[in-house]
């Protein structure tokens, strides 16, 4: 069974980890968000792709929830002493990857090829593709003005309410090589429990990817990132309240109109299914550990008979 | 007493440390070699300037002899796992500096301004100037072909004999802002015990700097890097044998014809002063520790009455 997962960063990466633990990793292709990508200290950073890569390779720090296990921060401390920018936390191990990627991108290699090289170097069987090789950046409109995603999320601690989002470059962005082919060959499409607005919408803003999902011939299952109407972490609930008018499963599903057939929701939301116009799959969705994330993946995969 | 020191990397940096320990650091300006500069993993690295900066700030690793004390190597290990280039050892603390410098250079700041910023950030009073802000690169001609300095020195372990050197860009390079002014204002000019061919020649290849030394009105003292005709470390003795015909004090001085008035030589060379056409100052030159480097600096400074 061929599976394609559309995923954002940390929460999505955990889910992806569960998927490759219950399915054949070689049958899974992950399409990652690049709207969060940024340049910091001159490095080209792709936080969501990296979270997925680290999770797939078992290099992620499960306790901190982001970045690499065993990380150190010496380069950043040294940069700080020389008045370099330090608002975005780049660890030393993480920097090693950014150095290799930045050098490759500057030499003209596309992001998808660089990412594929990392997947090979780490001995992974799972495919990892950026949504696009073109420049696509998420901008956040707030009462305080418009910010890049990372300015809003990290530098300002996502304290500003979100009035609107803009995906710079999306109009002209092509799907990265392999993305449409993977979707076309898939038996199951999954939307990871990532933030619908800032993690999955930038992927779906690539028209060819949205079209491929709209015209799918196989089931597409989204996993809600909310539990009892609240985000496990981050601003998804506040954004849904303000932009969709609520945080029920129906409000989550409204972010994916025409794109999904089922929505996996938490038991805490089982009584709040009013207005949901896709099939609800009720389970426990909190990925507290390896068992929980595998169970969640199994549930999502269960819509297609093995 | 205003002092200008022309210096290469590690050995020169130790000597510079001695000079600022026996003179007022604010009266010392160091002009550093940039012929060794390179780009590695996309980083703009200036090994000689950095060795001097780290020594002045007390951040250098005295035991290893290069790089920073307390250094870690996580970024490079991570890059290696992703098949990044690792032939040139960049530590994490060191990388912090390279990140800040590379970003500043790419944004158009000249190397002299970036370096001055580092000097200020580290609270140093001593001036540190690159010989030039222009691109100047040392190329080494060997029986095996021509190599960049670092390819020859690091990647090939300086095993190839040197037939000739070429300083790419020297013909059109201007002295960096402040270099000629510092030389003009100096009461004493010093050439650190660095390799004459690969550390000091690239500085003296900037015509305006060579002219300023030739037309000096104050003493210029070189410190020989050889002890008993042998290099403490590195290929200086092999190069002198092949390119100057020997390793005596006279052969060392022949690298600086018209530019120096005195040569500080080791006691081990006291019987080999034949043919030396500048004043010899005989002392112990091995910088085994802080005392030894201070004594050496005092000896060099002694040519000018305090």
Least confident residue range of A253-257, B7-11, B159-163, B261-265: B7-11
Q: A304 φ, ψ to 5°?
A: -110, 125
Backbone φ, ψ for residue B27 (5° rounding): -95, 0
Question: B148-185: per-residue pLDDT in tens?
Answer: 999 999 999 999 999 999 999 999 999 999 999 999 99
What is the structure's pLDDT at A273? 97
Chain A, chain B: beta-carbon pairs less than 8 Å apart: 113
Beta strands in chain B (DSSP E): 3-7, 28-32, 38-40, 43-45, 127-130, 137-142, 145-148, 164-168, 188-191, 220-223, 226-227, 230-231, 262-266, 279-283
- State whether residue B95 sits within 8 Å of chain A by CB: yes
Asked whether residue A114 is assigned to any structural domain, the reply reads no
A77:B83 CB<8 A: no
Q: What is the CATH number of the domain that holds A173?
A: 3.40.50.10680
Within a domain: residue A89? no
**What is the span of the domain harbouring residue A138?**
3-37+124-301
pLDDT at B65: 85
pLDDT at B136 over 80: yes
- Structural domain includes residue A233: yes
On whether any CB of chain B is under 8 Å from the CB of A268, the answer is no
Residue B293 in domain: yes
Does some domain include residue A90? no
Dihedral, CA atoms, B203, B209, B210, B213, nearest 10 degrees?
-120
Q: Give the pLDDT of residue B14.
A: 96
Mean per-residue pLDDT of chain A: 97
Q: Does A178 lie at the interface with B, CB-CB under 8 angstroms? A: no
Nearest CB among B72, B79, B117 relative to A99 is that of B79
CB-nearest partner of B93 from A68, A78, A121: A78
Residue of chain A nearest B78, judged by CA positions: A96
* Extended strands (E) in A162-278: 164-168, 188-191, 220-223, 226-227, 230-231, 262-266
3-state secondary structure of B175: coil
Give, rounded to a whole angstrom, the gap between the first and last alpha carbons of chain A: 7
State the DSSP code for A175: P
DSSP code of B60?
A: B
Nearest C-alpha in B relative to A92: B75
B-proximal residues of A, 223-262, CB under 8 Å:
none
The values of phi and psi at residue A222, to 5°, are -100, 145
Tokens 């409204």, residue located: A254
The residue of chain B nearest to residue A72, with distances taken between CA atoms, is: B74
C-alpha dihedral over B258, B261, B265, B269, to 10 degrees? 70
Structure tokens at B37: 């500069």
* Digit-coded pLDDT (tens) for B10-39: 899 999 999 999 999 999 999 999 999 999
Cβ atoms of residues B11 and B232 within 8 Å? yes
Q: How confident is the model at residue A57 (pLDDT cuts 50, 70, 90)?
A: very high
Which residue has 């690091």 as its token pair? B154
What's the pLDDT score for residue A63? 86
Nearest 5°: the CA angle A58, A60, A62 is: 105
Give pLDDT, residue B151.
94
B88 within domain boundaries: no
Does residue B259 register a pLDDT over 70?
A: yes
Task: Tell me the mean pLDDT in the region B182-191.
Answer: 98
Number of domains in chain B: 1
- The verdict on B113 touching A (C-beta cutoff 8 Å) is no
pLDDT tens for each residue of B106-130: 999 999 999 999 999 999 999 999 9
Exposed / middle / buried, residue A184 (Cβ in 10 Å: 0-12, 13-18, 19+): middle
The whole-angstrom separation of Cα B190 and Cα B103 is 33
Alpha-helical regions (H) of A156-257: 179-185, 201-204, 207-214, 236-244, 249-253
User: Are the Cβ atoms of B42 and A106 closer than 8 angstroms?
Assistant: yes
With a cut of 90, say whether residue A37 has pLDDT above it: yes
Residue B93 lies in a domain: no
pLDDT of residue B306: 62
Percent of chain A whose predicted confidence (pLDDT) is above 70: 100
> Is A218:A189 a contact under the CB 8 Å cutoff?
yes
Pick B303 or B267 by higher pLDDT: B267
- Do the domain assignments include residue A256? yes
By the CB < 8 Å criterion, does B38 face chain A? Answer: no
Res A305: pLDDT: 73
């Amino acid at each position: 069974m061929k599976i394609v997962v559309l995923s954002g960063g940390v929460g999505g990466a955990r889910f992806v980890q569960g998927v490759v633990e219950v399915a054949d990793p070689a049958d899974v292709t992950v399409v990652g968000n690049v709207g969060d990508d940024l340049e910091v200290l001159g490095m080209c950073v792709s936080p969501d792709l990296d979270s997925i890569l680290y999770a797939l390779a078992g290099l992620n720090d499960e306790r901190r929830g982001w970045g690499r296990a065993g990380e150190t921060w010496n380069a950043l401390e040294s940069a700080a002493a020389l008045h370099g920018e330090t608002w975005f936390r780049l660890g030393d191990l993480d920097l090693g990857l950014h150095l290799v990627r930045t050098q490759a991108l500057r030499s003209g290699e596309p992001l998808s090829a660089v990412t594929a090289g990392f997947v090979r170097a780490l001995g992974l069987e799972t495919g990892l593709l950026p949504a696009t090789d073109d420049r696509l950046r998420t901008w956040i409109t707030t009462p305080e003005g418009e910010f890049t995603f990372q300015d809003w999320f990290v530098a300002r601690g996502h304290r500003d309410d979100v009035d609107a989002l803009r995906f710079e470059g999306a109009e002209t962005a092509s799907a990265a090589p392999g993305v449409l082919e993977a979707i076309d060959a898939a038996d199951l499409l999954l939307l990871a429990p990532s933030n619908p607005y800032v993690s999955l919408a930038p992927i779906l803003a690539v028209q060819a990817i949205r079209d491929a999902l709209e015209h799918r011939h196989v089931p597409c299952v989204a996993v809600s990132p909310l539990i009892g109407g609240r985000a496990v972490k981050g601003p998804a609930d506040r954004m849904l309240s303000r932009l969709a008018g609520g945080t029920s499963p129906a409000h989550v599903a409204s972010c994916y109109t025409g794109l999904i057939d089922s929505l996996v929701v938490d038991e805490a939301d089982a009584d709040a299914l009013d207005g949901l116009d896709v099939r609800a799959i009720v389970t426990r969705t909190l990925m507290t550990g390896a068992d929980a994330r595998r169970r969640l993946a199994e549930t999502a995969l269960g819509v297609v008979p093995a």
